[in-house]
Structure 1
């Protein structure tokens, strides 16, 4: 509760980011110890859906606290909730039994690839699957940072909503994102049971969701005003998040368990750069041109182009089945 100078805010945000950054990959790595590879899609989606649901629940509550008790009350509320959750985790949390959940069940289920002792970090990080997911994940996190930092201001400055109305609309993309994460986790296993390949099911979901987000943001810029614009806004800032559980599930199958945490950590570090660059670029646009519709539209078009490039990257480079076979061949050759 120190004086709210720029230095204090910058230092506090840096410390928060340092603690928050590893949260998703560490949590996913821990979650995978509880489930075999074929059953990880839904738990991963539920875990990642908790973040947007948190925004849905917190945005109105924190907005009310700020309105009635000042901005410091919102920080106090988050501090108390975070401390309570940490205490509960320390008391109740424990690791799963990785060995009992990841053993291969047959030639079509490669488990975690721990039966391939020659696999190293560099081999996994150079695969087309890993590199191909970086572009859409960077773009999706860029969109997330843009929504968090500038969407309320856009709704007030450009679309004319008051603070209360903007707070409610800001929650909609996060709500749809959470529902889409859960829905995709239920749909992908169904597609696999009906005979679809992993690439068709997982890649198809990631390509469609990322591409639709990009097209929706173009619709936000160039489409007619009214309810259609709001629909594009909600779709554009929600569907791209589906790439994260799909990518992490593929990395979980591609990487040996002993390397998985590091691979997920590198992945998170790479896509998190989107949250660094997006506010800088958008803030520069708004500083140069004012909080005008044209400046916001330029930021949305940049985001749309990144998302569409991400969809193309998945289609061109991501193929977990191919890359698993190549890792197996590399390991077999190195042992001869």
Structure 2
């Protein structure tokens, strides 16, 4: 990969990293917040889940707006809104205030994944998409790794409110760099002509079995008629359930069941997240290598998605693990599996979608599918803990869903998302 395209990958990595730093900030501060506002495990479950409600609600509208107005503008609006909401969380004086800040944050963050998918399609040639998508997604694990250590220390030294102000401020630094340096490859001045020509030429890489020309943008309703898109969305949901279980309840689990302090919880959590960052990028590169002969349009990347989900089901071993070192390995394997699943599933979406003009809308629908499951995970876990006094069933549910997702991706994503242009032309594009 050219180092110039590498800067785009870095922008995406850091965007995702900041996104997830802001998401996990509440989890790191869960114990002092629950104590201050006198919240039960069920109440914390609803608070953990609240940002996903607005996130899921705004995803499809944001996907449509990104396809229409472009990634530069919409990414800037999104990170401004969610960074401001994160910083203002530190000023909340009631449970309602916390909920309101989280809801606004979720609305802003709904731009992130559709922007990432669209930028990758705009900038990255087909044979590099697996690795760059993995780099983008691995930021969502680097964020918790860094946040667990940094914000854990800030909370221990200065209290939980300061940690939210610091987390929000980082987003504004990214926004300034984005507005100065980023634009479409046809517009930026820092790209060489030959590299620009390569990017534009390979942008509309279509499924190998498709003879359909990439015409105008397809309406959302037409995209929703393709079974493959629903298969990708269900797969994403089965995976994201575990991701949000970790994001929201892992620190509380380590403190309540393994009796770690907030500082030690941060250090312990950082290791598996950091491992997932490195291994996720490696898996993405291997998936690109795997597809070199057959081509990305064959959809064979689905096999790698299924393998990653089976790997993630190592979470089923958590209730049977008593040694902290072994638990660290299990968490590292699980997080690597779910991190790789997300990046590979996103890359598979681009592999099977002929027209780049539809990427943000299609990605938004897939992420909505993921977050329908994701918004259930914190709440369901809260009820499971309240009913059983243990986290064991919570980990068991997550592991079973990962195995279900592996089955879905192997059976429902076997065809490219070929749109009947004659039928879709009769519709007004959504």
Normalization by structure 1: what TM-score?
A: 0.86
The total of aligned residue pairs comes to 323
Matched, 1:25 2:114: yes
The answer to which of 66-75 and 154-163 deviates more is: 154-163
Q: Secondary structure at the match of 2:183?
A: coil
Matched, 1:39 2:128: yes
Give the whole-Å Cα distance in 1 for the aligned partners of 2:104 and 2:325.
40
Give the whole-Å Cα distance in 2 for the aligned partners of 1:3 and 1:30.
35
- 1:263 corresponds in structure 2 to 362
**CA offset at residue 232 of structure 1?**
1.8
Matched, 1:132 2:225: no
User: Per-residue displacement from partner, 1:195-215 (whole Å, max 9, x unpaired)?
Assistant: 58765741121111111211x
Give the whole-Å Cα distance in 1 for the aligned partners of 2:210 and 2:235.
26
- 1:233 corresponds in structure 2 to 331
Kept in 2, the 8 Å contact 1:110–1:253? The answer is no
Normalization by structure 2: what TM-score?
A: 0.68
Give the whole-Å Cα distance in 2 for the aligned partners of 1:184 and 1:172.
18
- Out of 385, 406, 415, the residue aligned to residue 286 of structure 1 is 385
**CA offset at residue 118 of structure 1?**
9.2
Matched, 1:317 2:412: yes
- Out of 391, 397, 401, the residue aligned to residue 302 of structure 1 is 397
Matches within 5 A, 1:1-336: 1-97=90-186, 99-103=200-204, 108=208, 114-115=213-214, 120-193=219-292, 195=294, 201-214=300-313, 216-223=314-321, 225-255=323-353, 256-290=355-389, 295-319=390-414, 322-324=415-417, 327=418, 330-331=420-421
Q: Secondary structure at the match of 2:259?
A: coil
Kept in 2, the 8 Å contact 1:50–1:178? The answer is yes
Kept in 1, the 8 Å contact 2:233–2:365? The answer is no
User: Per-residue displacement from partner, 1:70-107 (whole Å, max 9, x unpaired)?
Assistant: 111111211221111112211222123474442459x9
**CA offset at residue 239 of structure 1?**
1.1
Kept in 2, the 8 Å contact 1:135–1:309? The answer is no
Query: Runs ≥4 in structure 1, deviation > 6 angstroms?
Result: 332-335
Give the whole-Å Cα distance in 2 for the aligned partners of 1:164 and 1:66.
9
The answer to which of 189-198 and 55-64 deviates more is: 189-198
What 5-or-longer segments of structure 2 have no aligned partner? 1-89, 187-198, 426-430
Give the whole-Å Cα distance in 2 for the aligned partners of 1:223 and 1:200.
37
CA 149–108 in structure 1, closer or farther in 2 if over 3 Å, else same = closer
Give the whole-Å Cα distance in 2 for the aligned partners of 1:231 and 1:37.
33
Give the whole-Å Cα distance in 2 for the aligned partners of 1:118 and 1:76.
40
**CA offset at residue 194 of structure 1?**
5.0
Kept in 2, the 8 Å contact 1:114–1:257? The answer is no
Q: Secondary structure at the match of 2:291?
A: helix
Give the whole-Å Cα distance in 2 for the aligned partners of 1:17 and 1:333.
35
CA 226–71 in structure 1, closer or farther in 2 if over 3 Å, else same = closer
What 5-or-longer segments of structure 1 have no aligned partner? none
